[in-house]
Amino acid sequence: MPSQTPAVPQDRPANPPDTAKLCRLGRAVVATEAAAVSDLAPRIDADFARACHYLLACSGRIVVTGMGKSGHIGGKIAATLASTGSPAFFVHPGEASHGDLGMITPSDVVLALSNSGETHELLTILPLIKRLGSPLIAMTGNPGSTLAREAEVNLDVSVEKEACPLGLAPTASTTATLVMGDALAVALLEARGFTEQDFAQSHPGGSLGRRLLLHVSDIMHSKGDLPRVTTDATLHETLQVMSDKGLGMTAVVAADGRLAGVYTDGDLRRTLDRPVDIHELKVVDVMTPNCRAVAPDMLAAEALQLMESEKINGLLVVDGKGALIGAFNMHDLLRAGVM
């Protein structure tokens, strides 16, 4: 069958703009939105502090609501608040007037987003929010709007112009609203004394959670998987243990179980630089004594930092009495997602 030239879509411009023009348009958007964000700084004022006080005093949840693009931004703000120590969730205002308003209680604080401040779906549920007695914080681009006037606090997120050349698509206004939401979340985070450990508790599945919550005891090899020889072992016996356990090292322990030293692949290379009889030579004569060891409750991330700073590939683990209880290497940290 003869090949046919594909038809050009009718909505494709006959002469598409060149690279320089596309980049110019993109930079104009960035400049417009950057100016909108910069204009927010003077508005971090007493009203902002009042909003924070309402949110800090909230004994229930922060209920974020907004319609259309404001709703999308509201969902992200709710997620940021929730993950930084301020329990929050998003409620769609259209669904709220059809039953979801029951998700809001008098102990909650409502954070309502609307650029115009006159969004019909929000104004419809406004009397019901007032009847509940839930404090209302508004983020609007119109401080004289109905929503702004009815709120306990209105945060001004107005912009001089949208980045959209038609002035229609919410662009700079949604960016400004998102940044104001981030400002609230971070201010609350600091005020609550929220820590990295707290953040990890709400992100256990992420890499940060693994880095902050995993301890050495969670990743170390122990018991039958632990490479160890006694001080009277020959180098030949030591190499067999190292080969069997596959950690690139073995612990050398005294008769009482206390750690006496370590023998590593690096030690082996140095040993073989001189003539030796591996069947007669004792490991105690070529091991590294007074080696670095860590406690089982050390964070895995701290152990990684230690290994990187001392340029070593593995660590031994001892209990409070100095007895050997575990060992791990860089591969174990990698498998655990710590690095």
Is the Cα torsion angle 316, 318, 324, 326 positive or negative in sign?
negative
| pTM (two decimals) | 0.63
Choose the weakest-confidence range: 2-11, 160-169, 256-265.
2-11
Q: What is the pLDDT of residues 183-211, one digit of tens each?
A: 999 999 988 887 666 665 565 555 555 56
Per-residue confidence at 85, pLDDT binned at 50, 70, 90? confident
Euclidean distance between CA atoms 137 and 9, whole angstroms: 47
What structural domains and CATH numbers belong to the chain? 19-194 (3.40.50.10490), 216-335 (3.10.580.10)
Report the pLDDT value the prediction gives residue 243, as an integer from 0 to 100. 92
The proportion of the chain whose per-residue pLDDT surpasses 90, expressed as a percent, equals 65
Report the pLDDT value the prediction gives residue 3, as an integer from 0 to 100. 53
Report CA-CA distances (Å) from 51 to 41, 220, 258: 16, 47, 59
Q: In what order do the strands lie in the sheet with 314-318?
A: 293-294, 314-318, 324-329
Euclidean distance between CA atoms 297 and 294, whole angstroms: 9
Q: What is the pLDDT of residues 141-167, one digit of tens each?
A: 999 999 999 999 999 999 999 998 887
Q: Where are the alpha helices (DSSP H) in 133-282?
A: 146-150, 172-192, 196-201, 207-213, 216-219, 235-245, 265-271
Decide which of 98 and 114 is more confident: 114
Report the pLDDT value the prediction gives residue 212, as an integer from 0 to 100. 64
The proportion of the chain whose per-residue pLDDT surpasses 70, expressed as a percent, equals 90
Report the pLDDT value the prediction gives residue 100, as an integer from 0 to 100. 79
52 within 8 A of 94, measured Cβ to Cβ: no
